[in-house]
Amino acid sequence: MDLQTTLQTADAEKIRADARLMIDLLGGKATGRPGGFIAGYYAGNTAIGVRPEVQDVACRAFVEYGDYR
């Protein structure tokens, strides 16, 4: 998730869509090869000007879409 553009929008649908796209493209689904995607959490919300609840949208989306079963 781009913390300089996507998270800055605070647009929940855009954030969720970008999370889904990252998982699909980088997690192996798009290539059909085994893979995985590890999302990190940026702990300094104040430093990047993002409210914690906006970051929470991203975290929840990664958990929701990151199920590879």
Those residues of the chain that have pLDDT short of 70 are 28-35, 67-69
HSE of 36 in the Cβ direction (CA atoms, 13 Å)?
Answer: 5
Query: Side chain identity at 24, as an amino acid letter?
Result: D
Pull the structure tokens for residue 18.
Answer: 């970008």
Residue 30 pLDDT? 60
Residue 39 pLDDT? 80
Pull the structure tokens for residue 46.
Answer: 């104040």
Do the Cβ atoms of 3 and 42 come closer than 8 Å?
Answer: yes
Do the Cβ atoms of 3 and 41 come closer than 8 Å?
Answer: no
**Which residues does 43 contact at the CB level (< 8 Å), separation at least 6?**
none
Residue 29 pLDDT? 63
